[in-house]
Amino acid sequence: MRYISTRGQAPALTFEEAMLSGLARDGGLYVPETIPQLSADNIRALQGLTYEETAFRIMRPFVGDGFTDEVFADLIAKAYAGFGHNARAPLVQLAPNHFLLELFHGPTLAFKDFAMQIIGQLFQEALERRGERVTIVGATSGDTGSAAIEAFKGLDNVDVFILFPHGRVSEVQRRQMTTPPEANVHALALDGHFDDCQARLKDMFNHFEFRDNVRLAGVNSINWARVLAQVVYYFSSAVSLGAPDRKVSFTVPTGNFGDIFAGYIAKRMGLPIDRLVVATNQNDILHRCLTGGAYQTSQVHPSISPSMDIQVSSNFERALFDAYDRDGAAVAQLMDELKEGGFNVSQGALQALREHFDSGRVSEEETLATIQSAQTTMGELLCPHSAIGVRVAETLRASDTPMITLATAHPAKFPDAVEKASGMRPPLPNRMADLYERPERVTRVANDLAALESLIQERINK
Ligand SMILES: *Cc1c(COP(=O)(O)O)cnc(C)c1O
């Protein structure tokens, strides 16, 4: 299995190479050259398997020969052993034909643990075998950073630096990044927005001298291995509702388009998915684009669903690549236009996108109201992101097709918003109840590339 860049100018790589490098050197994102297919019988055979067994069957064809079957199965087992629920991704019913996929039982209480935990294992195994070490730098609006730190802390062959926007993440998110005591963990609070963090990260990747010098690796949602790990729960949940013999739809609270793109890959692999619904907060570039065709950036408006407060959805580039019939030059041109503020998706490409994706946007007031009403009418305390999904799903779902809404974080990760809406303050699970007592360790940094690069150099040479 080979991986090619969405901008058509970087060399094709193996799974392992694409995973270790993150972003392609032409600025593009890696995608598989071909998509492995699962027949209806293959999908039916997933019924009754454990999450880990399902994960093995879904991911195996993408991973190539770098890992043996035995090693790969062992890494999957280690990745999910620390989850607080035996089903890993349990499905609960909200209403007739509406289901909630709880993706928040991992160590940092957000869905990002599903991908990050297995990526940590895969990195460590590959680097040990190669006798190499890497410097991981990630940008986060909150959840990616804590999930990455949790996955990479204490690993021998890795330093992990996380850039988060100072003062713009929740206290639980911040503490999950600043309290791990391991020496290879570096939490950096940047003066700026998440988009600034993401922009500086991209700058580092495009600064090849620095990139090669520190052996820079990325684990943001642009890393293909992350998308791949997220494909698994689309299969596991759909199968438990009767796939492949019954179609299902999904609604996904969306920021960087990584999670929902995994759903699109599941569909391309043969899972009978009817609609993939993008749910956004007031930062609605994706909703505007899917409805009107204009992908136009504007200001970030901070919201009570901070993990979705972004203006540029990095993984959307992967969907555009397919919508433009895998024309890398066309995608490269759109991305050039984006630097000037935006672009218009062609009629043909927009039609191709709409064959798979619907969208909806939810205001702050509607988010709070949904947390409140889900608590009283569905018996579920939702985090603000998941509430956005539930709201859009309730509006757009068809009565005859089961809708699965992804619950992307535990309500206790966003206790202030949840309490404001419902009057209930969700407690942290017991296994992390002492989070507020642990000492914090963080470095405040300016929004300045040169300063960041020298800080990173200095830390890894210690
Ligand atoms: C990251 C995140 C999202 C958005 O996921 P994308 O893959 O970026 O679309 C939604 N909800 C929560 C809680 C998150 O952490």
Least confident among 35-39, 274-278, 310-314 = 310-314
Q: Is residue 462 predicted with pLDDT exceeding 80?
A: no
Quick one: angle between helices 51-63 and 224-240, nearest 10? 140
CA 383 to ligand 1: nearest atom? 13
- Give, for 98, the enclosing helix (H) or strand (E): strand 98-102
Q: Which residue has the tokens 């050197």?
A: 25
- Residue boundaries of the structural domains of the chain: 91-106+225-422
Position 142 pLDDT exceeds 80: no
Percent of the chain that is helix, strand, coil (3-state, to 5): 45, 15, 35
DSSP 306: G
Q: How far is the CA of 85 from the centre of ligand 1 (A)?
A: 20
Q: pLDDT value at position 311?
A: 83
Residue 142 CA: nearest ligand 1 atom is: 15
Token pair for 60: 């195996």
pLDDT beyond 90 at 262: yes
For the residues 272-279, what does the mean pLDDT come to? 98
For residue 271, give every residue at least 6 positions away whose Cβ sits within 8 Å of its Cβ, in sequence order, or none: 38, 43, 234, 235, 238, 243, 244
| Confidence class for position 414, pLDDT limits 50, 70, 90 | very high
pLDDT at position 433, please? 86
Q: Find the 369 Cα to ligand 1 centroid distance in Å.
A: 20
Residues with CB under 6 A from ligand 1: 110, 112, 143, 221, 253-259, 307-308, 385, 408-409
| Mean pLDDT of all residues in 347-364 | 98
Q: Name residues whose C-beta falls within 8 Å of residue 306's C-beta, 6 or more positions apart in sequence.
A: 141, 142, 168, 169, 170, 173, 194
Q: Which residues are catalytic?
A: 112
Distance 252 CA to ligand 1 centre (A): 9
Helix (H) or strand (E) holding 342: strand 342-344
User: Based on C-alpha coordinates, what's the Rg of the chain?
Assistant: 20
Distance from Cα 111 to the centre of ligand 1, integer Å: 8
Average pLDDT over residues 137-159: 92
Tokens of residue 134, six digits: 């890497």
Task: Evaluate if residue 264 carries a pLDDT over 90.
Answer: yes
Instruction: Give the tens place of pLDDT for each residue, 10-69.
Output: 999 999 999 998 888 899 999 999 999 999 999 999 999 999 999 999 999 999 888 999
pLDDT confidence tier of residue 71, bands split at 50, 70 and 90: very high
pLDDT at residue number 159: 96
Mapped onto helix, strand or coil, the DSSP state of residue 246 is: coil
For ligand 1, mutation pick of 101, 252, 408 (most atoms within 8 Å of CB):
408
Pocket-testing residue among 227, 252, 256, 303, ligand 1, by greatest number of atoms within 8 A of Cβ: 256
Kindly report the average pLDDT of the chain as a whole number.
95
The CATH class, in words, for 91-106+225-422 is alpha beta
Q: Which atom of ligand 1 is nearest to the CA of 256?
A: 8
Task: Tell me what pLDDT residue 141 has.
Answer: 81
Q: Which long-range contacts (CB under 8 A, 24 or more apart) does 295-299 make?
A: 295/334, 295/338, 295/342, 295/343, 295/344, 295/345, 296/341, 296/342, 297/338, 297/341, 297/342
Q: How far apart are CA 208 and CA 457, in angstroms?
A: 14
**What Cα–Cα distance (Å) separates residue 17 from each residue in 4, 204, 339, 344, 370?**
11, 18, 28, 33, 43
Per-residue model confidence (pLDDT) at position 402: 97
The closest-lying atom of ligand 1 relative to the alpha carbon of residue 230 is 7
Cα–Cα distance measured from residue 351 to residue 388, given in angstroms and rounded to the nearest whole number: 25
> For residue 270, is it left (φ>0), alpha (ψ between -120 and 50) or beta?
left
Per-residue pLDDT of 187-232, as tens digits, reads 999 999 888 998 999 899 889 999 999 999 988 888 999 999 999 9
For 372, the 3-state DSSP assignment is: helix
**Antiparallel, parallel or unpaired: β 91-95 and 30-32:** unpaired
Counting residues of the chain whose pLDDT is more than 70, the rounded percentage is 100
Q: Could you tell me the pLDDT band of residue 345, with boundaries at 50, 70 and 90?
A: very high
Q: Residue 431: pLDDT band by 50, 70, 90 thresholds?
A: confident
Dihedral sign computed on CA atoms, order 307, 278, 264, 413: positive
Whole-number Å distance, alpha carbon 132 to ligand 1 midpoint, is 31
User: How confident is the model at residue 220, as a pLDDT?
Assistant: 83
d(CA 376, CA 340): 46
Amino acid at 23: L
pLDDT digits (tens, 9 = 90+) for 379-399: 999 999 999 999 999 999 988
| CB-based contact 161:186 (threshold 8 Å) | yes
